[in-house]
Homo-oligomer: A and B are copies of this chain.
Amino acid sequence: MQNARSRHDSMPPTTCDLGEVPGFRDLPGALLQELQTICRKRSYALGQTVSEMGAQSDVIGVVSDGILRMQKSLPDGRQHVVGLLVGGDIYGRVFDGGSHFSVEAASDAEVCAFDRPKFEALLLRSPELDRLLLLNMMSELDRAHDWMIILANPRIRGRLAGFLLLLCTRFLTVDHLITLAGRSIRVHIPLSRPDVAHLLGTRVESVSRALHSLADDGMIEILRPDLVDIRNIEALSEETGEPEMPDTGALARLIRHTAKRPD
């Protein structure tokens, strides 16, 4: 973690192009300009700490590329993942409210970092930015609820199925995490087994077994530990028991996409 260049500057911080970031690109030009002036681009390598839980980092961040993970630090030193952040997502304790989690890079990632006081000042002056933040918060809350429903599945297989489907729907638009390979959906899992296990409330062995169990039933194919092909998304969806899928629309499109090719 300290071996290469130190903490925050694997790359020299520069202004970043917010026009590229989903959500921000629709903001009025003048506001965008102003945001540009108070932001610095920062790059993080996989595993680097972006923001500590305890310390008041006084930074508001917007993910511009890659994936970050929110996690709560447990007193015993372990970390518990409570969510993932992708392009356009905002983190940081605005107005000192909530957000008592730390942030780590789940892949090589880039963020736009804002000085908190300046960001808050701008927030008070700009209804558009304020609204963006509010909506962001709301969808974050929605996603947390989706997580809860997945976690509430009594069977590991079901939880894992829900997890995979969540990755599909959430990361469909993002990056190179989801690709369509033939008539199956290729999903990259941006978490290590221990993290997945902890997130799903189980152990690594169970995750491994459940994953291979799904593979044995032909629903998925395991290409690498962190790369699986979904061959039968409908079966996977039924596996969750509760067809309460996040964003059924996107899922439906995916299904049609994969079903379009006969045989």
Residues of A near any B CB (own CB < 8 A): 70, 72, 74-76, 78, 80, 82-83, 93-95, 97-101, 124, 127, 130-131, 133-135, 137-142, 144-145, 147-149, 151-154, 198-203, 242-244
Name A148's contact: one of B137, B148, B154, B244 (CB within 8 Å): B148
Copies per complex?
2
**Whole-angstrom distance between the Cβ of A61 and the nearest chain B Cβ:** 15
CB pair A134–B242 under 8 Å, yes or no, is no
CA distance A194 to B33 in the complex (A): 53
Name A138's contact: one of B78, B94, B139, B147 (CB within 8 Å): B94
Give the nearest-CB partner of A96 in chain B: B135
CB pair A75–B148 under 8 Å, yes or no, is no
**21 pairs, CB–CB < 8 Å, chain A vs chain B:** A70-B145, A72-B145, A74-B244, A75-B243, A82-B148, A82-B149, A94-B134, A95-B134, A97-B139, A98-B139, A100-B142, A134-B134, A137-B138, A140-B141, A141-B141, A144-B144, A148-B148, A151-B151, A152-B198, A152-B200, A152-B201
**Whole-angstrom distance between the Cβ of A85 and the nearest chain B Cβ:** 12
CA distance A124 to B135 in the complex (A): 14
Name A243's contact: one of B76, B127, B243 (CB within 8 Å): B76
Name A124's contact: one of B127, B140, B148, B154 (CB within 8 Å): B127
Query: Lowest 10 A-B CB distances belong to which pairs?
Result: A98-B138, A152-B201, A144-B144, A151-B151, A97-B138, A97-B135, A98-B142, A82-B145, A137-B137, A74-B244
